[in-house]
Amino acid sequence: MLAYIIRRLFYAIPILIGVNLLTFMLFFVVNSPDDMAVSQLGQKYVTPEAVQAWKRKNGYDLPLFYNAQEPGAAALTDTIFFTKSLKLFAFDFGRSESGRDITTDVSTRMWPSLAVALPTFVVGIWVNICVALMVVMFHATRLDRWAVFVFVGLMSISYLFYIIGGQYLVAKTWKLVPISGFNGEIQPWKFLLLPVLVGVIAGIGAGARWYRTLFLEESSQDYVRTARAKGASEIRILFRHILPNALIPILTGVVVVIPTLFMGGLLIESFFGIPGLGSYMLDAINAQDFAIVRAMVFIGSILYIVGLILTDISYTWADPRLRLD
Partner 1 sequence: MKPLLLWSDLLIYLLVFALCLFFLRLRRDPQTREHWRQVFSTRLGMVTMTLILVYVGVALLDSLHFRRALEPVAGSPADEVFYDNKVTSVLDVMLGGMGERFERTYSAPFALDSFEKQDMKDDNGHTYRDFPPLEHAGYHLSQPEQRWADVAAKSGVALLWGVGISLLVIGAQWLLLRRSPYPWSASWVTQAVVICLAVWLVSISRYYHVLGTDLGGADVAYQSIKGIRTGVLLGTLATLIMLPIAVTLGVMAGYFKGWVDDVVQYLYTTLSSIPGILLIAASVLLFQVYIDLNPDFFSVGLEKADARFLALCFILGVTSWSSLCRLIRAETLKISQLGYVQAAHAFGVSHQRILLRHILPNVTHIILITFVLDFSALVLAEAVLSYIGVGIDPNMASWGNMINGARSELSREPVVWWTLTGAFFFMFVLVLAANLFSDLVRDAFDPRSGTGRSVA
Distance CA 30, CA 18 (A): 16
- The gap from C-alpha 267 to its chain's centroid, in whole angstroms, comes to 12
Q: Are 75 and 265 in contact (CB under 8 A)?
A: no
Is residue 43 helix, strand or coil?
helix
Least Cα distance to 270 among 113, 131, 35, 46 occurs for 113
Residues in contact with partner 1, total (CB under 8 A)?
54
Distance CA 243, CA 239 (A): 5
Kindly tell me which residue out of 113, 120, 167, 279 binds partner 1, with binding defined by CB under 8 A: 167
User: Taking contact as CB under 8 A, which single stretch among the options 30-38, 67-75, 95-103, 315-323 is the one that binds partner 1?
Assistant: 30-38
For residue 301, state whether it binds partner 1 (rule: CB under 8 A): yes
Least Cα distance to 62 among 87, 42, 90, 92 occurs for 87
Distance CA 116, CA 136 (A): 30
User: Taking contact as CB under 8 A, which single stretch among the options 81-89, 113-121, 151-159, 187-195 is the one that binds partner 1?
Assistant: 151-159
Q: Which of residues 196-215 bind partner 1 (CB under 8 A)?
A: 213
CA-based torsion, 33, 36, 37, 43: positive or negative: positive
Considering the complex, state which of residue 136 and residue 251 has its C-beta at the smaller distance from partner 1: 136
For residue 19, state whether it binds partner 1 (rule: CB under 8 A): yes
- Minimum Å gap between C-beta 228 and partner 1 is 13
Considering the complex, state which of residue 4 and residue 159 has its C-beta at the smaller distance from partner 1: 159
For residue 86, state whether it binds partner 1 (rule: CB under 8 A): no
Phi, psi angles (nearest 5°) of residue 132: -65, -45
Contacts to partner 1 by CB under 8 A: 14-15, 18-19, 22-23, 26-27, 30-31, 35-36, 38-39, 43, 140, 148-149, 152-153, 155-161, 164, 167-168, 172, 179, 213, 216-217, 219-220, 260, 263, 266-267, 281-282, 285-286, 288, 290, 293, 296-297, 300-301, 304-305
